[in-house]
Structure 1
Amino acid sequence: MKRPRWMLIFILFVVGLFLGYAIFTALAVAFFPRVTNITQPILCAGEQTVEVTRSSVRPGETFFSVNVYCDGSDITFQAVALTGLLASLVFFVLLLIAARNNLVADPSAPALFPNAGMPSATKGKTPLERMSELKEMRDRNLISQVEYERKKDEIMKEL
């Protein structure tokens, strides 16, 4: 069974929240009346009034001031935050769909230390036991020094 990569999912969630708020803010600044019309059911329970004031301080520079009123009361920060959160969650779901193949660990991939602490396949003995037997054989002159070094290297590679 594939295991989910929770750290990657958490990182995508945080990135999704940040980018969702950033995109929502950019849309609200660039296309405010359109975003207001789209989010009006979330932000305002009833009718809304959008008041746009155009002013020019210097020649060639035009500034706009936009005020939105809902049933005589201004939009609250909580309503804007909830709308941004909704946009963030939509963006997070889109990120999850795009990265769905990378969100689970491959079960066929080998573990980092598959044989750690387990006896080797040779007669069910641990590498430590095999090393001690190898030293005994060398001390009794049953094997040469060259063969001792070769077998010692084989045992060390298993670790």
Structure 2
Amino acid sequence: MNTYRVRELRSTDAQALLAFETDNRQWFESHIDARDPAFYSLQGVTEHIQGYLSDFADGRWHPFVVEETRGKIVGRANLKSIDPVQRSAQIGYRIAQDACGQGLATLAVRHLIQEARSRWQLSQLVAYVYEANLGSKKVLMRCGFLLEHPATGAQAGGESRFVLAI
């Protein structure tokens, strides 16, 4: 049985992250907006990681990966658009298709909540989920997020906004 851990993204993760993103591209694109095709190369992923780590150093993002004991990346999770004045951030996460149903999204979201509270002293987290993404809605509700009524700026079939007061 695999065990999993959530850890910060590293500059050395490019090859493993490219494999994760490439292997799950079709799955992810069925739930979220597609990435630019240039992303799907070692150079594209390396630049992506450098951008995230730069934003982390500036206090705007906090990127994580979920990995199994053998070091294979099976998920990602981010605190993004960190606003220290408003004490808020958005969250985002994605889990490999073959790792779904094992509680990894819940593990990742709970880790983000803990980091938001302890490291960043945030008081609110926000997540946006496409209407059809029932799995993510369940994860967010399980972790204490509430659906905002009405979803600000939501269109039919668009995104719902979930909020967690920390």
Common fold by TM > 0.5: no
Structure with the larger helix share: 1
The structure having more radius of gyration, on CA atoms, is 1
Higher strand share: 2
Higher relative CO (Cα under 8 Å, sequence separation at least 6) belongs to 1
